[in-house]
Amino acid sequence: MGQIEIYVSREKKNLGHRGAAAHIRRAAERALAAEGVESAVISVMLTDDEGIHRVNREFRGVDHATDVLSFPLNELRPGAFDPADCDTDPETGAAMLGDMMISLPRCEEQGRDFGHGFEREIEYLTVHSVLHLLGYDHVDEGEMKKQMRAREKFIMGDKD
């Protein structure tokens, strides 16, 4: 049996949502299991709109805030996870998948706007980001986007 390590930290104090890390870990573990990943390391930074805006501008050249950013460490094929394609933690041998950043205020706002609340929204954003770390993308309206959306729905347990 493998080892899943999900490190969650906060960029700033007073971001609220003390239970966010538990929701993130649960959603990430569910997504990794659904994709056949038994041993992995993921780092998650919780921030606000200002923090994610800064990183989005610096690393992606996009000058606005967003809800979640994903920084994969490997180039993986969606739906075909192979740990041999990943850098590994020298101590544990776990696949190092990458980093994600989530804006808690944006997550709260979207949960309210979509009518399903903060907890479901943070879990969805986590699943979405984990899939990015595993090679899924949605840059266009083609098959890759359909494949990613189908995996999100399956992992989240959506019926429609």
Region 19-37: what's the mean pLDDT? 97
Across 116-126, average pLDDT: 97
What's the pLDDT at 145?
84
Q: What number is the average pLDDT over the span 123-148?
A: 90
Q: What is the rounded CA–CA span in Å between residue 37 and residue 58?
A: 30
Q: What is the set of domains in the chain, with CATH numbers?
A: 4-156 (3.40.390.30)
Residue 15 exposed, middle or buried by CB count within 10 Å (0-12, 13-18, 19+):
middle
- Mean predicted lDDT score pLDDT of the chain: 94
Compute the half-sphere exposure of residue 65: CA atoms within 13 Å on the CB side of its CA.
14
Q: Are 95 and 86 in contact (CB under 8 A)?
A: yes
Q: What is the pLDDT of residue 20?
A: 96
pLDDT attached to residue 160: 57
The pLDDT of residue 157 is above 60 = yes
Q: Are strands 68-72 and 95-103 parallel, antiparallel or unpaired?
A: antiparallel
* 2 confidence band (pLDDT: 50, 70, 90): confident
Q: What is the mean pLDDT of residues 59-87?
A: 95
Determine phi and psi for 140, rounding to 5 degrees.
Answer: -135, 180
**Rounded CA separation 71/97 (Å):** 9
Name the pLDDT band for 159 (thresholds 50, 70, 90): low
pTM for the predicted model, two decimal places: 0.94
Please tell me the predicted confidence (pLDDT) of residue 141: 65
